[in-house]
């Protein structure tokens, strides 16, 4: 049977019910941007609905309705629509340009089960939980959240608080497509043909029957979705699309909003993007008026990359020994701070110019929050930690989360044992961050202990990051006779004496040995691009006259006690000298530089760092006539 879909406003029954504005306010407590919240909540719903047969595809699309599409939307969606006083849908669809933001997932099971909330079932009830009920809890095992209040973020993002839900699910042995509209605004009272009535502020669009609204089903749903221009789900696949009518982006224009969504995906969902490539648990795409919006790989984001390192290093078991309960695993990495400011999405999450945070996540590997710890003791350094809760603690931490799932409010836990365990976990995380924030000892090649505090003062001006192609670089200079290695702390609390061997300070010549020649650094190392590759550049000049050879010794600096990696793992990338560039821009692609010194010429050492590492470079200049 084909019917014209129309709106029906939900009235209060004799027993009352919840007002719609109360639903909208459940997410007011969060400080997250609405677009960040949209990404987090919708992606959690998508992950919870996965079929397990393959990765989940998550897509966001923004488009303007064309001149032939907008009238169809008006014809189909304004039938019996509430007045503008009670819902702004009419005003939104009357705009010259109507915009629709669609969030789609496939590799998911769709919204199945009964379409009525009063039907008892032992199977799926996803449609009822998402469309009909509010605040209902689901089984939390292996789930990031619930269909409770978080789903309302779709309505918060819409100016008229109106969405269309287009889904395909499996009912028994067959596939069924469903299409329904849903709006949430404010409760109100008005005169009707039946007399004065009060309404909850919830409105539904679809096939009206027996005083409530059923979704359009099967061919009827497919036909109306096609007329509206909603992209069909792939043949034979289940999934869900939620179309947000006239999205609100605050002060951003559409392009800025889509860029924000891309960054929000990376910073909030990066664990689902690992390993990077086609075998990740979730795949993400964004389109804006038909054009793809790039989503960076997590490893390409300089301020996020340290969390990936820590994620690989979660080798610390956090437990409550008295209660004999594992609480989770922790990993932490120290690093030289990347240059520049993090993206605004990261700043919104509490990450400032310096990184000293732990990423909290439950076993479903979705970011809850970035917990701030004490700053790193040295302004050029930082640390990043990752805590992944144990499976046995998943429900405990889930119960501590607010509707927006962006915090662990452990004091709200009612069970005393659960509260004790959760608080103990947070205390141990705080202890780990405190330990990571202070100085530690490393060992140089000669086996001498070197204070990182002394080293940081000595080499503070010689630190640089390499976004996308290596964490950072340290460039200590040595004379021509001593073994390459990190310079030890200078005598006066790390302040080097003029001409002291191994200082390598910009603008100050490194001392030389019997055959050594002085090499003067002219400024801090910086980033550049050569032949499309990210490189590190150190400008220098040769102080002494005569023929000289300039050589380098490259190593990967480690976070552990060994200080540097002497022998890289088989197949691992290693830093390499790309060449030597004159001040005129001519590049000499050789491992060693043979030239005359003392003529005032400026040279640049060009190095390609190894991905996801800290590169240490030792430079030395020697007069010709002997080996180093």
pLDDT digits (tens, 9 = 90+) for 123-167: 788 999 888 876 544 444 444 444 455 678 898 899 999 999 999
Look at residue 207 and give its three-state secondary structure: strand
CA distance 605 to 595: 13
- For the cut 90, the answer to whether the pLDDT of residue 102 exceeds it is yes
- For the cut 70, the answer to whether the pLDDT of residue 21 exceeds it is no
Return the residue matching tokens 């039907």. Answer: 119
Nearest to 547 by CA among 627, 621, 628: 621
Q: Is the dihedral of CA 363, 259, 247, 25 positive or negative?
A: positive
pLDDT digits (tens, 9 = 90+) for 175-220: 999 999 999 888 888 888 777 888 888 899 999 988 889 999 999 9
- For the cut 60, the answer to whether the pLDDT of residue 510 exceeds it is no
Look at residue 386 and give its three-state secondary structure: strand
- For the cut 90, the answer to whether the pLDDT of residue 388 exceeds it is yes
- Mean per-residue pLDDT for 305-332? 95
| pLDDT greater at residue 602 or residue 525 | 602
For residue 567, what pLDDT is reported? 56
CA distance 185 to 528: 52
Diameter of the chain measured on Cα atoms: 107
- Mean per-residue pLDDT for 277-292? 91
For residue 434, what pLDDT is reported? 96
Alpha helices, H only, 229-375: 254-269, 305-312, 344-348
- Torsion of the alpha carbons at 91, 95, 97 and 98, rounded to the nearest 10: 10
- Mean per-residue pLDDT for 525-534? 73
Average pLDDT, the chain: 80
For residue 273, what pLDDT is reported? 96
Task: Print the SS3 string covering 511-548.
Answer: CCCCCEECEEECCCCEEEEECCEEEEEEEEEECCCEEE
Q: Is the dihedral of CA 215, 219, 220, 221 positive or negative?
A: positive
Q: Find all residues with CB under 8 Å of 617, minimum gap 6, and list them.
A: 473, 474, 475, 536, 538, 552, 553, 554, 575, 605, 607
- Residue 372: CB atoms within 10 A of its CB come to 15
**Could you tell me if 107 and 239 are in contact, meaning their C-beta atoms sit under 8 angstroms apart?**
yes
Tokens of 47: 């992950």
Reply yes or no: is the peptide bond before residue 275 cis, omega within 30 of 0: yes
- For the cut 70, the answer to whether the pLDDT of residue 536 exceeds it is yes
Q: ∠ at Cα 386 (382, 391), nearest 5°?
A: 170
Q: What is the DSSP string of 90-132?
A: HHHHTSSS-EEEEEEEESB--S-S-SSTT---SS--HHIIIII
Could you tell me what percent of the chain has a pLDDT over 70?
Answer: 76
- Mean per-residue pLDDT for 375-380? 86
Residues in the chain, total: 628
The domains of the chain, with CATH numbers, are 22-180+225-297 (3.30.565), 305-437 (no CATH), 448-623 (no CATH)
**Could you tell me if 240 and 167 are in contact, meaning their C-beta atoms sit under 8 angstroms apart?**
yes
Tokens of 105: 């997932």
- For the cut 90, the answer to whether the pLDDT of residue 255 exceeds it is yes
For residue 14, what pLDDT is reported? 67
- For the cut 90, the answer to whether the pLDDT of residue 589 exceeds it is yes
Q: 276-284 long-range contacts, Cβ below 8 Å, gap at least 24?
A: 278/55, 279/55, 280/55, 281/47, 281/55, 281/56, 281/365, 282/43, 282/46, 282/47, 282/55, 282/56, 282/57, 282/58, 283/55, 283/56, 283/57, 283/58, 284/58, 284/59
| pLDDT greater at residue 441 or residue 160 | 160
- 87-91, 99-103, 545-549 — most confident range: 99-103
CA distance 69 to 289: 14
pLDDT digits (tens, 9 = 90+) for 452-462: 333 333 233 23
For residue 318, what pLDDT is reported? 97
CA distance 271 to 360: 11
Could you report how far apart the first and last alpha carbons of the chain are, in Å? 90
* Residues paired with 509 in a beta bridge: 520
Q: Find all residues with CB under 8 Å of 386, minimum gap 6, and list them.
A: 307, 310, 311, 314, 330, 331, 332, 358, 359, 361
- Torsion of the alpha carbons at 346, 350, 356 and 362, rounded to the nearest 10: -80
* Confidence tier at 378 by pLDDT (50, 70, 90): confident
Alpha helices, H only, 383-512: 394-399, 416-437, 452-459
The pair phi, psi for residue 89, each rounded to 5°, is -60, -45
């Amino acid at each position: 049977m084909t019917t014209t879909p129309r709106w029906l406003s939900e009235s209060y029954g004799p027993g009352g019910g919840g007002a719609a504005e109360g639903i909208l306010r459940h997410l007011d407590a969060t400080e997250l941007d609405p677009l960040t919240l949209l990404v987090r909540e919708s992606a959690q719903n998508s992950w919870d609905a996965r079929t397990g047969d393959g990765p989940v595809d998550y897509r966001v699309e923004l488009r303007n309705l064309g001149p032939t599409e907008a009238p169809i939307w008006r014809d189909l969606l304004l039938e019996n629509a509430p007045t503008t006083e009670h819902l702004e849908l009419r005003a939104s669809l009357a705009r010259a340009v109507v915009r629709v933001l669609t969030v789609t997932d496939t590799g998911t099971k769709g919204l199945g089960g009964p379409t009525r909330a009063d039907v008892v079932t032992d199977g799926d009830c996803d449609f009822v939980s998402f469309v009909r009920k509010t605040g209902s809890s689901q089984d939390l095992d292996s789930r990031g959240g619930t269909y409770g209040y978080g789903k309302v973020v779709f309505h918060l993002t819409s100016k008229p608080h109106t969405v269309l839900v287009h889904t395909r699910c499996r009912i028994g042995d067959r596939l069924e497509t469903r299409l329904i509209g849903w709006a949430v605004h404010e409760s109100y009272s008005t005169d009707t043909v039946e007399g004065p009535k009060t309404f909850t502020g919830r409105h539904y669009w679809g096939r009206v029957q027996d005083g409530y609204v059923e979704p359009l089903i099967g061919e009827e749903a497919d036909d109306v979705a096609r007329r509206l221009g909603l992209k069909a789900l792939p043949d034979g696949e289940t999934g869900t699309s939620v179309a947000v009518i006239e999205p609100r982006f605050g002060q951003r224009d559409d392009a800025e909003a889509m860029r924000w969504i891309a960054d929000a995906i990376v910073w909030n969902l990066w664990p689902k993007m690992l390993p990077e490539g086609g075998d990740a648990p979730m795949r993400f795409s964004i389109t804006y008026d038909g054009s793809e919006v790039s989503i960076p790989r997590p490893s390409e984001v300089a301020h996020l990359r340290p969390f990936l390192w820590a994620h690989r290093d979660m080798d610390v078991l956090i437990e409550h020994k008295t209660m004999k309960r594992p609480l989770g695993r922790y990993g932490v990495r120290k690093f030289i701070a990347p240059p520049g400011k993090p993206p605004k999405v990261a700043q919104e999450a509490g990450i400032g110019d310096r990184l000293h945070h732990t990423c909290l996540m439950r076993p479903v590997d979705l970011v809850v929050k970035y917990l701030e710890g004490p700053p790193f003791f040295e302004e050029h350094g930082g640390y990043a930690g990752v805590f992944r809760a144990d499976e046995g603690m998943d429900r405990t931490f889930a119960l501590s989360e607010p509707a927006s799932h962006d915090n662990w409010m452990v004091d709200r836990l009612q069970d005393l044992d659960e509260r004790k365990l959760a608080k103990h976990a947070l205390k141990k995380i705080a202890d780990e961050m405190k330990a990571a924030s202070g100085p530690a000892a490393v060992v140089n090649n000669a086996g001498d202990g070197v204070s990182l505090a002394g080293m940081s003062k000595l080499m503070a001006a010689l630190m640089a990051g390499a976004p996308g192609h290596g964490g950072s670089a340290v460039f200590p200079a040595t004379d021509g006779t001593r073994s390459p290695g990190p310079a030890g702390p200078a005598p006066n609390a790390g302040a080097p004496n003029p001409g002291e061997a191994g200082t390598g300070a910009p603008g100050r010549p490194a001392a030389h040995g019997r055959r050594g020649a002085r090499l003067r650094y002219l400024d801090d190392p910086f980033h550049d691009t050569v032949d499309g590759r990210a490189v590190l550049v150190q400008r220098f000049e040769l102080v002494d006259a005569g023929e000289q050879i300039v050589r380098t010794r490259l190593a990967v600096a480690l976070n552990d006690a060994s200080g540097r990696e002497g022998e890289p793992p088989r197949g691992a990338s290693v830093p390499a000298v790309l060449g030597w560039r004159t001040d005129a821009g001519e590049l000499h692609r050789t491992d060693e530089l043979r030239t005359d010194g003392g003529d005032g010429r400026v040279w640049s050492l060009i190095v390609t760092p190894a991905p996801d590492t800290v590169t240490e470079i030792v430079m030395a200049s020697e007069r010709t006539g002997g080996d180093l």
